Amino acid sequence: MNSAAKKNADCVKVSSFMMSLGKMFAGHDEDAEIIRKIKSIKVLDLESCTASVKERFNKKVNKLNLKGYDELMRVNDEGEKVRVLMKTKKETIRELLFVCTGKEDCTLVQINGKFTKDDINKLVNQETGKKHGHR
């Protein structure tokens, strides 16, 4: 996306090579299990960009062709919208896409790998437990 080249945009790509290096340092807990299944991560963060850049991003996101994606979740909180999408091949989740749009937060996160639905459930339950003081 050309907006990524705009001033104040943060664009990070963690390649499969870098992920393989990171996997060497992962322990053996549930977090490490998920990390081992990630092939690459891309993040585009426009939080520090101008309002016009964010507006163009929001318009482009609304026009995205999402054929082949299934929506896992959609949240609209006072104009800030979050969508979590997945792309599967057979029973394997190959891509997770997190799209955050609004006046303040404009972020796109793409995670490629090979996950099961059970992996995603474990991760969600684990993170929900952390937010409620459990581990």
* pLDDT the model gives residue 73: 87
Domain boundaries, the chain: 2-131
At residue 97, the 3 state secondary structure works out as strand
pLDDT digits (tens, 9 = 90+) for 76-102: 988 889 999 999 999 999 999 999 998
Torsional sign, CA 81, 111, 38, 6 = negative
Q: Provide, rounded to the nearest whole percent, the portion of the chain with pLDDT above 70.
A: 83
Structure tokens given for 98: 């997190």
Radius of gyration for the alpha carbons in the chain, expressed in angstroms and rounded: 16
Q: Which residues of 3-21 are buried (b: 16+ CB within 10 A; e: fewer)?
A: bbebeebeeeebeeeebee
